[in-house]
DNA sequence: TGACGCATGTAATCCGTTACATGATTAT
DNA sequence: ATAATCATGTAACGGATTACATGCGTCA
């Protein structure tokens, strides 16, 4: 919050939107967390109300003490580098479900990464290059774009892996079925696109 | 927890290590969270004690109900896709500190990603390909490896950007200083490696 | 005049971490 | 002996989400 207010004065409402939009992918915060936090920061003398507007709007700025504090935090404390991703963790459990379900899961992941990619690319396009803050927003978004692109490519590779496994399994089942019972009627199999060659080679293989 | 126990019976201690090692990068949990959770899952009939060992060791397995539940969770619920990364978020605030500090920050990030990359690569190397769980662990680690590699490359690109900015700024300062005061003695400037050409081109540029 | 977006707050609850607390087994 | 590792638990606290709650301003 201090860092964001250092760029320009903002209200709690503005901060909330900022977390949901430009900072999505890095951090998020709800208004229910932001408003009490603003009160605490003001109490501590790190921010102050710069302007009051209509509908009770209060726009906050960092004080000198607040600016000093956020700089101290940036240079003197180590970031918590533990990362948590439910979506990523689920991948390790996909062996528990049917290949068609796993494939569907990855398809949605691909969709998600594709949307993020599009959003971030338009954010970069809409960005100036005048202030240092904009310069660093661009550098940060570059990381996000590369990240989303990489994971999008990974989902495509992984879906290909599933299709290959499935094709292999079907071939075996067909062979066995042909040997055991040529005349019996079987229920139709779930439909998935046929295995395709990858555009992207798996890393480390 | 249900998903992990589905692969093989484990104790709370085993689960804790699992979260710190093979599942690092996806999820983490401390023993203080795991033990109460195991008690709750047992109470709910989703797991049961499969074996008791020395030192009070209790090895749990999923019950049929537990297996059903984790499968239901995987196919019927949407993952929470909001991601949080303090380390990534800080990048957007690096304009607040000196370029040398920003550079140092990115250097540590590079170190971190490099370590993760090495760890994950050795994890893949130590992995069999016999069970479905191993198959999916490999697919998951592939995502982690690509992710770490991408961010490692990004840090190198970003450090290059800082060095370029710094070189540009110094050139301007030198020119101004030469014009204004040719004889005055100035303090030595902070040392950073000279700007280098990138191996990796910035995305979208 | 009614819907939508702006705008701010609080309360209950849950999830997760840190710290506290204990003890058995194994290897040096 | 004693240090390291295995092994399990609880308590206090803090951070974050969900739900509850209210009201103004603007535009169709």
Place of tokens 């971030």: A120
pLDDT at A185: 66
* Interface test mutation site (partner B, options A143, A148, A201, max chain B beta carbons within 10 A): A143
- The structure tokens listed for B1 are 């927890």
Tell me the average pLDDT across A47-71. 96
Tell me the average pLDDT across A139-147. 97
pLDDT band at A120 (very low <50, low <70, confident <90, very high): very high
pLDDT at A55: 87
Q: A74 and B81 in contact by Cβ < 8 A? A: no
Tell me the average pLDDT across B71-97. 96
CA at B46, C1' at C11: how many angstroms apart? 33
Residues on chain B touching A85 (C-beta within 8 angstroms): 26-27, 83
The CA distances from residue A87 to A1, A78, A83, A147, B43, in Å, are 27, 26, 12, 15, 27
Question: CB under 7 Å from any atom of strand C: which residues?
Answer: A 11-14, 16, 31-32, 35-36, 38-39, 53-58, 82; B 28-30, 32-33, 54-56
* A177, pLDDT greater than 60: yes
* A128, pLDDT greater than 60: yes
Q: A26 and B142 in contact by Cβ < 8 A? A: no
Q: From CA B194, how far away is CA B167, in angstroms rounded?
A: 8
* B197, pLDDT greater than 60: no
pLDDT at A181: 74
Phi/psi at A118 (5° precision): -60, -45
DSSP state of A130: S
Q: A202 and B143 in contact by Cβ < 8 A? A: no
Tell me the average pLDDT across A182-192. 67
Place of tokens 């004080």: A63
Q: Count the Cβ atoms, other than its own, within 10 Å of residue B14.
A: 17
* A198, pLDDT greater than 70: no
Place of tokens 């209790």: B58
Tell me the average pLDDT across B165-171. 91
Buried b (16+ CB within 10 A) or exposed e, B26-52: bbebeeeebbeebeebbeeebbeeeee
Nearest CA in chain A to B76: A101
* B180, pLDDT greater than 80: yes
pLDDT band at B205 (very low <50, low <70, confident <90, very high): very low
Residue B62 bridge partners (DSSP): B47
Q: From CA A61, how far away is CA B146, in angstroms rounded?
A: 40
pLDDT at A52: 94
Strand C footprint nucleotides (protein C-beta < 7 Å): 5-11, 16-20, 23-26
Q: B131 and A95 in contact by Cβ < 8 A? A: yes
Q: At what angle do helices B132-180 and A132-180 cross, to 10 degrees?
A: 160
Please state, rounded to an integer, the average pLDDT across all residues of chain A: 91
* A118, pLDDT greater than 50: yes
pLDDT at A202: 46
Q: Which carries the bigger pLDDT value, residue A198 or residue A116?
A: A116
Q: From CA A106, how far away is CA A90, in angstroms rounded?
A: 10
């Amino acid at each position: 919050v201090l860092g964001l207010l250092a760029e320009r004065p903002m209200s709690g409402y503005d901060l909330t939107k900022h977390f949901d939009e430009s900072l999505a992918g890095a951090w998020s915060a709800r208004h229910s967390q932001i408003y009490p936090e603003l009160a605490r920061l003001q109490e501590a003398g790190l921010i102050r109300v710069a302007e009051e507007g209509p509908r009770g709007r209060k726009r906050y700025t960092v004080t000198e003490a607040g600016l000093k504090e956020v700089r101290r935090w940036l240079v003197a404390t180590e970031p918590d580098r533990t990362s948590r991703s439910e979506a990523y963790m689920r991948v390790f459990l996909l062996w528990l479900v049917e290949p068609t379900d796993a494939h569907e899961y990855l398809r949605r992941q691909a969709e998600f990464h594709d949307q993020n990619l599009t959003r971030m690319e338009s954010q970069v396009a809409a960005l100036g290059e005048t202030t240092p803050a904009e310069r660093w927003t661009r550098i940060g978004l570059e990381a996000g774009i590369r990240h989303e692109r990489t994971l999008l490519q990974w989902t495509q590779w992984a879906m290909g892996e599933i299709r290959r496994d499935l094709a292999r399994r079907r071939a075996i089942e067909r062979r066995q079925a042909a040997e055991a019972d040529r005349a019996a009627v079987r229920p139709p199999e779930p439909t998935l696109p046929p295995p395709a060659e990858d555009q992207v080679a798996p890393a480390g293989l």
